[in-house]
Structure 1
Amino acid sequence: MKIFDLPLETDRLILRRVRHDDFDDLFPIHSDPEVCRYLPYEPRDEAAMKEAIEKRVALVEMTPGGEPLFLAVELKETGEVIGEVLLFYHHEEWRQGELGYVFSPKFHGKGYAYEATRAFMDAAFDQFNLHRISARCSAANIASWRLMEKLKMRREGDFREHEIFKGEWDHMYIYAILEDEWRAHRS
């Protein structure tokens, strides 16, 4: 069982545990059909978003194969939550994690996703002693895989028509980076 030392801070952001009062900022993100286009759920109504926040708030420690840790990404300047980053802790012995993220479209193109995921990956390698972090996305989600490449993750998988996702054949990319590669890029 592991717990992150939080909050994490960057020049412009605070990454912290999700709170109940984040509903007003997170609901517009998770109810947006364009945002949810690439997520494994449909746009959430208020009840579904409240339930999702309850699960995020209730998670106090991470266990291998358990629920992912979600962190709210808050702008230091305004206190507005602009998105979330998440980490699945897949395997303790093999030290495997999987990164995810979602951001409000009104904050795209400003470098916030890169800043937040970079800080989160630093913490995941340092605090969890992870050996490898992976991430996946639809090949059609160009912004997502470009972010992974900007993080110096390498494309390890290209799965064409591997499953039906939201009524269509999905084309998925899998990216990953090893701890020593991460540290080499960060130095």
Structure 2
Amino acid sequence: MKIFDLPIETERLILRRVRHDDFEPLFPIHSDSDVCRYLPYEPRDEAGMREALEKRVALDRLEPGGDPLFLAVELKETGEVIGEVLLFYLNEEARQGEVGYVFSPDFQGKGYAMEATRAFMDACFKEFNLHRICARCSAANTPSWRLMEKLKMRREADFREHELFKGEWDHMYIYAILEDEWRAHFN
């Protein structure tokens, strides 16, 4: 699937394709052990972040089960990149996607994640014609599942000790929302 028209603009933010020059603002986020605590990788070193950034920049199509689309989240006022939102295209026939997000600790608690993720999910439903969007997180990651609930997603699964994650048993929540439910809440 071709990537939809960008950028996406909100009142305070611009969501756009990740660029090579985003290394400087993204590296501190992805190398922070507190941020990476709930991410599926350890804090990245410089080489690891450059490799991850290269994949983000090179992606030109979304394929079911393939690499996710990452968008940089930029403050309109300053042009500063404060985080990323992402979409995994899970299933073309069933029109399923999974969203995620990661933000700099310096910008958490200010409503930016809600604003960015809401605009991104809206575009995913409209532009990709998705039927269902899900998201998942560790049950210990309270800010993440609270965001999902603010986005009117429902908790569909509560997996206790379902797998080892970074050496410990993980307790994972899965949330989801259907397109018609989204439209009822946000249109």
TM class by smaller structure: over 0.9
Where do residues 104-143 of structure 1 align in structure 2 (5 Å cutoff)? Answer: 104-143=104-143
Give the length in aligned residue pairs: 187
Where do residues 1-187 of structure 1 align in structure 2 (5 Å cutoff)? Answer: 1-187=1-187
Q: CA deviation at 1:70?
A: 0.2
The residue matched to 1:99 in structure 2 has which SS? strand
**Residues 69-102 of structure 1 deviation map (CA, whole Å, 9 limit, x = unaligned):** 0000000011110000000001111000000000
* Aligned equivalents of 1:81, 1:4: Cα separation in 2: 20
* Aligned equivalents of 1:168, 1:66: Cα separation in 2: 27
Q: CA deviation at 1:65?
A: 1.3
Q: Which runs of 5+ in 2 are unaligned?
A: none
TM-score normalized by the length of structure 2: 0.99
Q: Which runs of 5+ in 1 are unaligned?
A: none
Q: Which 4+ stretches in 1 moved above 6 angstroms?
A: none
Q: CA deviation at 1:59?
A: 0.0
- 1:85 partner amino acid: V
- 1:114 partner amino acid: M
Q: CA deviation at 1:142?
A: 0.1
**Residues 29-75 of structure 1 deviation map (CA, whole Å, 9 limit, x = unaligned):** 00000000000000000000000000000001111111100000000
Q: CA deviation at 1:124?
A: 0.2
The residue matched to 1:54 in structure 2 has which SS? helix
**Cα-Cα RMSD:** 0.5
The residue matched to 2:163 in structure 1 has which SS? strand
**Residues 143-176 of structure 1 deviation map (CA, whole Å, 9 limit, x = unaligned):** 0000000000000000000000000000000000
Q: Percent identity?
A: 83
TM-score normalized by the length of structure 1: 0.99
